């Protein structure tokens, strides 16, 4: 019997998390050796008490991890990945937009030998803003991560034990799980699943969080922006030389319409803006290096509720992983 871990980052999910866990246990506890890992990303509602009760009711199945501040979805996933013990790890949202019944499709597809299976939605029930954001993220990921164009990097996916061990080696304070996955393997599958409308609460992704996620994708996994700045600088030098020759020609033919002061100021402001843009891109890279060197925490765990048996398995798996690295 395969052991399946289901990892769920939880944020303000007091209305949905009990229903989700109940459905998963009913559907899969007899079919697989089931483990559910809930990572509470510092919710501000009653999610904590509900998750504690779920662990008390199913101590052999549910592991509960509480974070003392809101680190973000991908950081919460990284925290949970250190505690999953299954052969496969399914990652899904807490809002019931990913139907529990569809988990079986992902597991069945993994039997074909993939390292990861992503889902895609024939009909997505998100708001126009979220659909536009997802479409933009997909285009950026295709350009920067060089992922296949027909692959949708969904938050609803399943990875094998090999990928779990590879992902948790990364200690960056700004992780992007899908970037690590795409950089680690090309053995990727996909399967079509249903997508439901959001029944409870609003999405936790604000515009600021989406911009931060895109920044992680751009800066942490690609040098393209830095190279683009270099190419732009080269083109501007060529343009400046051509413009200088043009103005020299105009001087002799007395055909210039702009005064020298206007020409100088417009060119000066333009080139200063380009320099500031290049410095800001470079500064972003240096800032990430600074955070990494100063060991900013990827996440902090306040409390873990799990069974003694599972705690021993986690320690054993960690020891095995360290031994294989050596």
* 213 and 311 part of one domain: yes
CA pseudo-torsion sign 157, 298, 219, 269: positive
Averaged confidence pLDDT in the chain: 82
Of 271 and 21, which is predicted with more confidence? 21
Query: Is 224:143 a contact under the CB 8 Å cutoff?
Result: yes
Same domain, 173 and 237: no
* Residues in CB range of 103: below 8 A, 6 or more apart: 4, 6, 24, 27, 28, 90, 92, 158
pLDDT for 286 equals 78
Residues 160 and 253 grouped into a single domain: no
Evaluate if pTM is beyond 0.85. Answer: no
Q: Are residues 236 and 154 in the same domain?
A: no
- Same domain for 125 and 261? no
Task: Tell me, yes or no, whether 245 and 195 share the same domain.
Answer: no
Structural domain count of the chain: 2
Minimum mean pLDDT range among 64-68, 224-228, 236-240, 246-250: 246-250
Name beta bridge partners: 38: 8, 64
User: What are 169-198's pLDDT values in tens digits?
Assistant: 998 888 889 889 988 999 999 999 998 876
Domain containing residue 201: CATH number? 3.90.550.10
The tens digit of pLDDT for each residue in 274-291 reads 787 777 777 777 767 766
Q: What is the distance between the alpha carbons of residues 11 and 95, in angstroms, rounded to a whole number?
A: 9
In the predicted structure, residue 258 carries a pLDDT above the cut 60: no
Q: For residue 113, what are the domain limits?
A: 3-221+297-325
pLDDT of residue 325: 47
pLDDT higher than 70, residue 157: yes
Q: What percent of the chain has pLDDT over 90?
A: 46
User: Quick one: 137 and 275 in the same domain?
Assistant: no
**Claim to verify: residue 100 and residue 249 sit in the same structural domain:** no
Per-residue pLDDT tens for 303-318? 999 988 887 788 777 6
**What's the rounded Cα separation, in Å, for the pair 154 and 152?**
6
Q: Are residues 183 and 276 in the same domain?
A: no
Residues 238 and 178 in one domain: no
- The answer to whether residues 190 and 92 belong to one domain is yes
CB < 8 Å & 24+ apart, contacts of 309-318: 309/60, 310/35, 310/60, 310/63, 310/85, 313/85, 314/82, 314/83, 314/85, 317/85, 318/82
CA 287 vs. chain centroid, Å, equals 19
Per-residue pLDDT at 202 exceeds 80: no
Q: How far is CA 247 from the centre of its chain?
A: 50
Distance of alpha carbon 151 from alpha carbon 19, whole angstroms: 30
E strand or H helix at 303 = strand 303-305
Note whether 206 and 135 are same-domain residues: yes
Which helix (H) or strand (E) is 117 found in, with range?
strand 116-120
Residue 326 — very low, low, confident or very high, per pLDDT cuts 50/70/90?
very low
Q: Which residues have a Cβ under 8 Å from the Cβ of 46 and sit 6 or more positions away?
A: 14
Q: Is 320 exposed, middle or buried (0-12, 13-18, 19+ CB in 10 A)?
A: exposed
Q: Is the pLDDT of residue 90 over 80?
A: yes
Q: Name the more confident of 127 and 31.
A: 31
pLDDT of 48 strictly over 60: yes
> 225-244 as b/e, with b when 16 or more CB fall inside 10 Å?
beeebeeeeeebeeeeeeee
CA dihedral 5, 99, 24, 168 (to 10 degrees): 20
């Amino acid at each position: 019997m395969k052991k399946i871990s289901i990892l769920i980052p939880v944020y303000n999910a007091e209305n949905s998390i009990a229903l989700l866990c109940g459905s998963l246990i009913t559907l899969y506890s007899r079919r697989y050796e089931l483990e559910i890992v809930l990572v509470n990303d510092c919710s501000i509602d009653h999610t904590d008490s509900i998750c504690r009760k779920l662990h008390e009711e199913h101590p052999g199945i549910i592991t509960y991890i509480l974070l003392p501040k809101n680190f973000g979805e991908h950081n919460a996933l990284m925290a949970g990945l250190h505690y999953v013990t299954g052969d496969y790890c399914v990652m899904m949202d807490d809002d019931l937009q990913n139907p529990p019944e569809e988990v079986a499709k992902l597991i069945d597809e993994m039997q074909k030998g993939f390292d990861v299976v992503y889902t895609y939605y024939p009909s997505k029930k998100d708001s126009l803003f979220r659909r536009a954001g997802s479409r933009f993220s997909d285009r950026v990921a295709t350009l920067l991560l060089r992922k296949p164009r027909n692959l949708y990097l969904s938050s609803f996916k399943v990875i094998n034990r090999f990928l779990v061990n590879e992902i948790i080696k990364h200690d960056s304070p700004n992780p992007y799980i899908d970037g690590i996955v795409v950089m680690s393997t090309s053995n990727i599958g996909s399967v079509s699943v249903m997508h439901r409308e959001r029944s409870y609460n609003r999405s936790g992704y604000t515009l600021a969080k989406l911009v931060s996620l895109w920044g992680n994708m751009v800066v942490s996994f690609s040098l393209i922006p830095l190279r683009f700045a270099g190419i732009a600088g080269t083109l501007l030098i060529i343009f400046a030389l051509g413009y200088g020759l043009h103005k020299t020609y105009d001087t002799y033919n007395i055909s210039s319409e702009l005064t020298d002061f206007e020409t100088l100021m417009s060119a000066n402001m333009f080139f200063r803006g380009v320099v500031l843009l290049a410095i800001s891109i470079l500064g972003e890279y240096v800032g990430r290096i600074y955070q990494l060197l100063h060991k900013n925490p990827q996440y902090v765990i306040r409390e873990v509720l799990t069974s003694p048996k599972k705690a021993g398995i986690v320690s054993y798996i960690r020891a095995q992983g360290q031994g294989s690295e050596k």
